Structure 1
């Protein structure tokens, strides 16, 4: 995939994050990887990985892709490696991108469907309702704007979300782990909450192979999702990583992206992931104890350099700053300690006072346009918001915000931030009559 800079403003250095995100798409190249004897993983055919374990009496499938269409493509890709009957399907967790193709793998063979008991009560959620077209997955972005979705090449763009391929579990456990033998293969199902409370990891002790679910991904963890979900349980996530580290696996198959195929890299990845989450959690809690606000903590808490540069901690999906805000709210609530914020002015009233202070709407619009021209895109967007709080249909303000969001989006390494910025920018473009061609370089 090659995406060229499309904006008139900014040096090429400003687009380094975007170029990294483009390069990250290589993680989703469709392929079937032979991990070790009898274990294959299909990567890039769907929004999540599907793992095939060949047993003496049939096959075991771990996770089932996002939908029946993808599942059929994966069965074709597995070819003769998939030996019928499928004796069992194991869900690592409830997310739709892992559970949407079970009916295709099951066929008419009635395999056992295994999961943690918590999956039964889990309700897959896409987060808050859309505001101004904002979409962290970029499902409706035009092809020229879309790069990837952080942990998958795309989700919901080619094939819409569906639960038609889901099969409810027939075998669950509610403890820390459950040893089972299926098709002659000894497995341990291990409760490893992190990105999902019901996440389990599948351990094959004889092969020293771990199928981790979403507890370890090649991106900074999405502790506080932009799309509007509860902050993930950081303390449990750390415990899960410690538990998996103690297994000393030779192979790790994550829920998304590529396989780790040696013990040293596996230990390094798990250790860095745990240490990064623990660092952000502990520093946030220290700041809370000192009475610091979320805004202050976001400015202060940065990963140590050796973690910040680690390939498993690049901010393609989650970020340190969002994690800080999520952990703060999870542990200290919404109030930041500043009494001015106990009963803040309504947005429209505050905007009216700020606009008046600036000399009126025309003056603030002039200031916002000047900020845009100067490359101060965040400040331009914030001033546009004040004008829109006063007059939601202000097309000039919408145009400034649209341009500012597009500039911000094009500079993102984080896929969900990019997708959200550009989704809202395109929504604003559709709502206002101003020609947006000025955003792009001449052909």
Structure 2
């Protein structure tokens, strides 16, 4: 039966804006039915994960947990998730998928936990990621120090040191190249600690290049989409953000990067840090372009980085990134089983809680291995039968033996978009259908669709009937055309927001829920600017190899403004002993290494740090010259002209409406 059409009437905005979104609506009958299917199909009586998540509890930060920056602004506030409670019982509200609600309650369990008696601990629940601490002979080895420096510093000072002891940090491990595994490093160590040799930093081969490329080259658009994916813009509550799938959400403090001193370059490599021996598996192009796993034989403990967590992970992340290879991913997990399966007694990762006992560890890794292999192989099987990515996403189903395992549920990734990612990994964006080769852009296509459907009011009348029938995917598709055709049509934006909201209430994936609900919010309120981590932080940019630094300048070059201009510059970096010939021709940047242009308009002699500050807009070149930090031979205005051609990206571009609005 269709839902009561009175559900289309907007109810008043809730009084508590921190618990419900602006003008948030109640779930429809279709949403209630969809969530009830989940409630009846999964074993909510299984409390094993709750027991594991609480095991080894040592202490927690005082309640309410609020971590501020230097100005007093909260960068992490766990108290805002108090509506979740912490029991294993199924008390999910009607506005949240019950499976996601269960995951959100698990991720609410926070504190310092012992993983291996007297040897390994984890701080969980204080950022999207988990920070692990390993006892070395002389001090502490820290694994993956959160997203933000403020979080890492507070957890270390107020939780780790009082409970484990004030020993020096002797090493830091970055398991992979995502910012939530290195961004907080400056909260626990300084560059001087590394430069003096007091602290080593271990990372997988290719780490710096991968970290920079992901966080800077496409960092602005990834960061904006991440604000949707992690629910950073949403109020926290049963009608807003409840969980990110891997953790509550990302902290919003200061991110940084101190470059590694040592690298894992091959599988089977043995590394010793502060007397602790580890055997490594290099795992590139799995969950990250640069990643490694390691086994601690003394403790019979396997760190799987982010390649085996208590969720189906992303083979494509909705914030945007390169496709990940499910086949390689599954093979790395098989390698871990082959190399350490008979010895391991605990598996811990950089998200979620550990798994203990050899048999349980083996079953956990085998299930994750088969999950990614199944998605990869079945997608390619159907692709070779001629099915398109949309068709494959709709058809693929996990076998019951995988689907019924809690750690395989789609809290972060989803079967639908992961299958489409494996298609794209091999075959790219084009599905082979000629009509999809050169489609109209959304604003133009939207106008044609609206016209073909009889105009805006006719489309809305039909869409409201479909909404009342619970056909939300179709309503989203057709009304999105109208919003892009007529971005000022408030009735269309309201209906699309209501539709996204119901889809969000039904989503098992935290990122899917957050994308839908953030889209609904921005349709209702417009873009609301808020403080968020900056992936292209000055720290990250300063850590770039110069080749990557020039690549970054190349993507900032405004082609239309540069058209018809020819610029030639020489750059001499005295501290690096490097020379570059930099040019702009045909609206493109080109760079030659270890040479100088004979007819350059100017030659700039300076240090890398001074040049960074000029390009970052911290200081003008003239001021660097006056301060004796740079020398310019030739026409100084040539550099000024070059810098004038570089775009500064606006983070807050629109997503659910056309850019022109």
TM-score, length-normalised on structure 1?
Answer: 0.90
Superposition pairs of residues 92-241 of structure 1, within 5 angstroms:
92-106=175-189, 109=193, 110-122=198-210, 123=212, 124-125=214-215, 128=221, 135-144=228-237, 145-156=240-251, 159-160=252-253, 162-164=254-256, 166-193=257-284, 194-241=286-333
2:524 alignment counterpart = 429
Match of residue 47 from structure 1? 128
Distance 1:295 1:48, change over 3 A: same
In terms of mean alpha carbon deviation, does 61-70 or 373-382 score higher? Answer: 373-382
Partners of 1:252 and 1:261 within 8 A in 2: yes
Q: CA offsets, 1:38-69, max 9 Å, x none?
A: 11111112221111111222221111111122
**Larger RCO, structure (CA 8 Å, separation 6 or more):** 1
Judged with a 3 Å threshold, the aligned counterparts in structure 2 of structure 1 residues 130 and 252 are, in CA distance, closer, same or farther, namely closer
- Structure 2: stretches of 5+ with no match in the other structure: 1-18, 39-95, 528-661
- Higher mean C-alpha deviation, range 301-310 or range 54-63: 54-63
RMSD: 2.4
Cα deviation for residue 101 of structure 1 reads 2.4
Deviation, structure 1 residue 113 = 0.7
Alignment CA distance shift 1:24-1:293 (3 Å):
same
1:309 match: 404
Please report how far the alpha carbon of residue 6 of structure 1 lies from its aligned counterpart in structure 2 after TM superposition: 5.3
Summarize deviations over 1:248-267 as a string: whole Å, max 9, x none.
12111111010111111111
What is the alpha-carbon distance in structure 2 between the residues aligned to residue 307 and residue 22 of structure 1?
20
Question: Structure 2: how far apart are the matches of 1:231 and 1:370?
Answer: 38
The aligned residue for residue 354 of structure 2 is: 259
Q: Which moved more, 1:114-123 or 1:387-396?
A: 387-396
Query: How far apart are 1:7 and its partner, in Å?
Result: 0.9
Structure 2 Cα separation of the partners of residues 133 and 154 of structure 1: 10
- Number of residue pairs matched? 427
Distance 1:131 1:77 in 2: 32
Query: Alpha-carbon deviations, 1:149-170, whole Å to 9, x = none?
Result: 11011113xx33x333x32111
Q: State the distance in 1 between where 2:227 and 2:116 align.
A: 42
Distance change in 2, residues 1:391/1:70 (3 Å) = same
Instruction: Provide the secondary structure at the position in 1 that maps to 2:381.
Output: helix
Give the match for residue 436 of structure 1.
Answer: none
Question: Are the equivalent residues in 1 in contact too, given 2:225–2:320 (CA < 8 A)?
Answer: no
Partner of 2:32: 12
Where do 5+ consecutive residues of structure 1 fail to align?
433-443
Distance 1:184 1:362 in 2: 72
Residue matched to 1:282: 377
Which of 26, 33, 36 is matched with 2:116 structurally?
36
Q: Quick check: 1:132–1:428 contact (8 Å CA) kept in 2?
A: no
Within a 5 Å distance, the mapping from 1:402-413 to structure 2 comes to 402-413=497-508
Q: Is the 8 A contact 2:225 2:318 kept in 1?
A: no
CA 1:238 to 1:388, structure 2 compared with 1: closer, same or farther past 3 Å? same
Q: 1:81 to 1:343 in 2, by over 3 A?
A: same
1:291/1:337 contact within 8 Å kept: no
Counterparts in 2 of 1:41 and 1:190: CA distance versus 1, 3 Å? same
Matched-pair contact (CA < 8 Å) for 1:288–1:328: yes
- 1:21 and 2:95 equivalent? no
Cα distance in 2 between the residues matched to 1:169 and 1:31: 28
Post-superposition shift, 1:372? 1.8
CA distance in structure 2 between the aligned counterparts of 1:371 and 1:320, rounded to whole angstroms: 26
Change (3 A) 1:365 1:191: same
What SS does structure 2 have at the residue aligned with 1:291?
A: coil
**Are the aligned partners of 1:54 and 1:83 in contact in 2 as well (CA < 8 Å)?**
no
The TM-score, its normalising length taken from structure 2, stands at 0.61
Give the 3 Å change call, closer, same or farther, for CA 102–8 of structure 1 in structure 2.
closer
- Assess if the C-alpha contact under 8 Å between 2:27 and 2:505 holds in 1: no
Equivalent residues in 2 for 1:292-331, closer than 5 Å:
292-331=387-426
Cα deviations across residues 324-378 of structure 1 (Å, max 9, x unaligned)? 1111111012221222323334545544443333332211111112222222222
SS at match of 1:375: coil
The answer to whether structure 1 residue 70 and structure 2 residue 151 are counterparts is: yes
The structure 1 residue matched to 2:167, chosen from 81, 84, 89, is: 84
Indicate if the aligned counterparts of 1:51 and 1:62 stay in contact, CA closer than 8 A: yes
Residue 427 of structure 2 corresponds to 332
* Greater Cα offset, 8-17 or 70-79: 8-17
Distance 1:340 1:385, change over 3 A: same
Change (3 A) 1:200 1:43: same
Aligned partners of 2:438 and 2:135: how far apart in 1?
61
CA 1:354–1:259 in 2, change beyond 3 Å: closer, same or farther?
same
Cα drift, residue 199 of structure 1:
1.0
Matched, 1:400 2:491: no
Specify the structure having the higher radius of gyration (Cα).
2
Give 1:201 deviation, angstroms.
1.3
User: Structure 1 residues 67 and 234, CA, compared in 2 at 3 Å: closer, same or farther?
Assistant: same
CA distance 1:199–1:358, shift in 2 (3 Å): same
Q: Distance in 1 between matches of 2:416 and 2:178?
A: 24
